[in-house]
Amino acid sequence: MATRAFQRLPTAPAGRILMLRLVAIILSLFIIACVLALSGHSPLMLAELIIHSTLGSRFGLEDLALFMCPLLLTGAAVTVCGTIGLWNIGAEGQFYAGAIAATGVALGVHGSALAVLPLMTIAGIVGGMAWITVPTLARAYAGVNEIITTLLLNFIASLLTYYLTTGPWRDRISGAQVSTQRISVSIPEMWGIVHWGFPVAIVIVIGLALVLSRTRWGYEIRIGGANPEAARYAGIPVRLRIISVMLLSGGLAGLAGMFEVAGTVHRLQGGMANNFGYLGIVVAVLARGSCLNVIPAALLMALILDSGIVMQTQQLSASVILAITGLILFMIAIGDELAHYRPLARTTPQGTAAGSKVS
């Protein structure tokens, strides 16, 4: 007699993960449609509106690209850190730090965009690195959990942004609330309102994937994340690699803040991060440790965000949008976990009753 059991495998085939993710998305959309229908909305009408407003129009595609740009960099920041077995939960704060540093350069240095933009880029990267320096050194030399330290610094960065935009850097020209004045330079646009930061972010993600997979540094990072003790035994400077990876992670998030200031918002504003740092964690989880997978994961997250804006125009509250987003991501997480299991057949000898005693 054969009975079924399941075995969890440490890895899962990419094809199975993709299939189960598609099933999870379809199932979650079905649940969402049922709930919307019960609440008096037309699921078909909303679906048609969302498709037209996101993928079916130039304006929607431009919005997708603008959402993807910071998600690519914050997702890559978390992914790179995860390669060595660490979690950077502070991409939100590093995003703000990069935005603050870049804005400071834009407000203090006057000149052409050709001269100011490189300085803003360097300032944004250095700002993000500086913001993660204390958690980096604490983790490398004292073993302090980086999750707590990077998370707590998010709140400080957000409050610092509000202080600057309502205090010394407040907009004294137009009187805009919680905002600096518009900066004088901006990243050139390449297609509609989409700036050149978008393709640069894609190139950075692809470049990181190549570095991590084809260089000695990337190999040492992966070994250090898989087995730190074995890496030390092999002579790999694990502590130095931890420092370099965490600083790189902070720099990527800071660059995302610079792109948002110079390419999209054109000023420093309170709340301008729009949770891109936290959503970068979701992107990294969906990417499953692969920098290349950050690109489709960021696209999916951008599509969800853009769809949420469309649904808000149809009198759906932000709480409903958050619940829908959570459901989709929750179902995807379940699909990812199920992809690791495979059924096994166990044969029970015939004539032996379950629970019988052998005399």
> What tens-digit pLDDT sequence spans the chain (359 residues)?
555 677 888 788 888 888 999 999 999 999 999 988 988 888 999 999 999 999 988 999 999 999 999 999 999 999 999 999 999 999 999 999 999 999 999 999 999 999 999 999 999 999 999 999 999 999 999 999 999 999 999 999 999 999 999 999 999 888 888 999 999 999 999 999 999 999 999 999 999 999 999 999 999 999 999 899 999 999 999 999 999 999 999 999 999 999 999 999 999 999 999 999 999 999 999 998 899 999 999 999 999 999 888 888 888 887 877 888 888 889 988 998 898 888 876 666 665 554 544 44
Helix (H, G, I), strand (E, B) or coil at 129: helix
Q: Name the residue ranges covered by the structural domains of the chain.
A: 73-288
Letter for the amino acid at 121?
Answer: T
Structure tokens at 46: 């909303």
Residue indicated by tokens 């995860």: 82
* Alpha-carbon distance values, 61 to 191, 257, 321, 356 (Å): 10, 21, 20, 66
Q: What are phi and psi of 141, to 5 degrees?
A: -105, -20
Determine contact, residues 85/145, Cβ cutoff 8 Å. no
- Cβ atoms of 224 and 85 closer than 8 Å: yes
Specify the DSSP class assigned to residue 87: -
Both tokens of 293, joined, read 């997978």
The Cα 359–Cα 350 span in angstroms is 17
Exposed e or buried b per residue across 123-154, where buried means at least 16 C-beta atoms within 10 angstroms of its C-beta: bbbbbbbbbbeebbebbbeeeeebeebbbebb
- Looking at residue 359, its pLDDT comes to 42
Beta bridge partners of 189: 195
Distance (Å, rounded) from C-alpha 199 to C-alpha 65? 9
Phi and psi at 343, nearest 5°, equal -75, 145
Cα distances (Å, whole numbers) of residue 332 to 152, 231, 326: 28, 33, 10
Bridge partners of 3, per DSSP, are 346
| Model confidence, pTM | 0.90
Structure tokens at 90: 């502070």
Distances from the Cα of 246 to the Cαs of 20, 84, 129, 325, 332, in angstroms? Answer: 32, 9, 8, 29, 28
What's the pLDDT at 49? 92
Helix (H) or strand (E) run with residue 170 in it:
none
Structure tokens at 28: 């979650």
Per-residue confidence (pLDDT) for residue 150, from 0 to 100? 97
Write down the pLDDT at residue 4. 63
Backbone angles phi, psi at 267, to 5 degrees: -170, 160
HSE, CB side, 13 Å, CA atoms: give it for residue 1.
8
DSSP of 45-79: HHHHHHHHHHTSSHHHHHHHHHHHHHHHHHHHHHH
Amino acid at 59: F
| pLDDT at residue 349 in the model | 61
